[in-house]
Amino acid sequence: MSAPVHIGIAGARGRMGRAVSQVLEQRDGSIVALRFDRGEEPDLNHCDVVIDFTTPEASVALAERCAATGRPALVIGSTGFTPEQNAAVAEAASRLAIVKSGNFSLGVNTLIGLVEQAARKLSEQAWDVEVFEAHHRRKADAPSGTALMLGEAAARGRGEALEALRAGPREGITGPRQAGSIGFSVMRAGGIVGEHAVVFAAEDEILTLSHSARDRSLFARGAVEAALWAAGRAPGLYDMQDVLGFR
């Protein structure tokens, strides 16, 4: 029998931190070795992996600290990173294993694959792509990390980077939609856990691919699976497509 994986939880008092803690308490093969929050300087020596749902700033600082010693591995679920912050995480990943994802749901990651395939099959001249997402009123960033992942999947299917196809914000007189563009629609209200849909719309038909999150624990379960996968892994920047064996 293999030794249990010792897991630390960053942002332990936050909503996702508490959800991760509850999942770990019921999960064989793992031990909660540490719980900490922003502003604390914990001893990470007893952790094989740290699961981090905090903020981009805190995640970058944690990644740089872990990279200095080459451990522990990280699972990062924070969203809203700037390009510079993403570059800092990628640099840290040259010295330790980091699984970074905007969403740890198995269903969402399957949806990402379907969106890429659909975008590859449906002509950009005939089919517009719109990514819709809805979350609770407390979420600070928009579009969500998951919405951006879905947009990136659609762009990959069309052989382009999202930056080249992303439609600008809509307000006032914007003129007709540019063919091939990928738009984003955002809703923030109440306690919505997470709703995502990708709409492929032609003149005479509409295809909608969607996912609904009913409980935050599904993200926590995925993050725990990612942590178990990352323990002892070679340095590199990974995502859930790697964890699930899709790549």
**Residue 1 pLDDT exceeds 70:** no
Per residue in 131-177, pLDDT (tens digit) is 999 999 999 889 998 899 999 999 999 999 999 999 988 888 888 88
Tell me: do 163 and 191 sit in the same domain: yes
**Interval 6-26 mean pLDDT:** 93
Specify whether 71 is located in the same domain as 88. yes
Q: Are residues 93 and 144 in the same domain?
A: no
Indicate whether 115 and 179 sit together in one domain. yes
Q: Domain range holding 97?
A: 5-104+216-243
Same domain, 227 and 206: no
- DSSP output for 155-215: HHHTTS-HHHHBPPP--S---SPPTT-EEEEEEE-TT--EEEEEEEE-SS-EEEEEEEE--
Residue 80: per-residue pLDDT: 86
Which listed residue (100, 135, 196, 211) is catalytic? 135
Least confident of 3-7, 170-174, 177-181, 211-215: 170-174
* Residue 4 pLDDT exceeds 70: yes
Question: What is the tally of structural domains in the chain?
Answer: 2
pLDDT at 244: 83
Do 60 and 130 lie in one domain? The reply is no
Confidence (pLDDT) at 150: 96
Domain co-membership, 205 together with 228? no
Helix (H) or strand (E) holding 237: strand 236-238
Which residues 6+ apart lie within 8 Å of 138 measured at CB? none
Query: Within this chain, do residues 22 and 80 fall inside the same structural domain, yes or no?
Result: yes
Q: Are residues 231 and 188 in the same domain?
A: no
CATH classification of the domain holding 152: 3.30.360.10
Active site residue 100: no
Same domain as 154, residue 71: no
Q: Which residue has the higher pLDDT, 28 or 20?
A: 20
Mean pLDDT value across residues 115-129: 95
pLDDT of residue 102: 83
pLDDT at 109 exceeding the cut of 90: no
Of residues 68 and 247, which shows the higher confidence score? 68
Is a pLDDT exceeding 80 seen at residue 104?
Answer: yes
CB-based contacts of 223: which residues, under 8 Å, 6+ apart?
Answer: 16, 20, 51, 53, 75, 77, 104
Catalytic status, residue 136: no
235: domain CATH number is 3.40.50.720
Report percent pLDDT > 90 for the chain: 77
Report pLDDT for 99: 98
pLDDT tens for each residue of 37-90: 987 889 999 999 999 999 999 999 999 999 999 999 999 999 889 999 999 999
- 186 and 163 share one domain: yes
Are both 185 and 235 inside the same structural domain? no
Instruction: Report the mean per-residue pLDDT for the chain.
Output: 93
Residues 6+ apart with CB under 8 A from 121: 157
pLDDT of residue 155: 97
What are the φ/ψ torsions at residue 223 (nearest 5 degrees)?
-65, -40
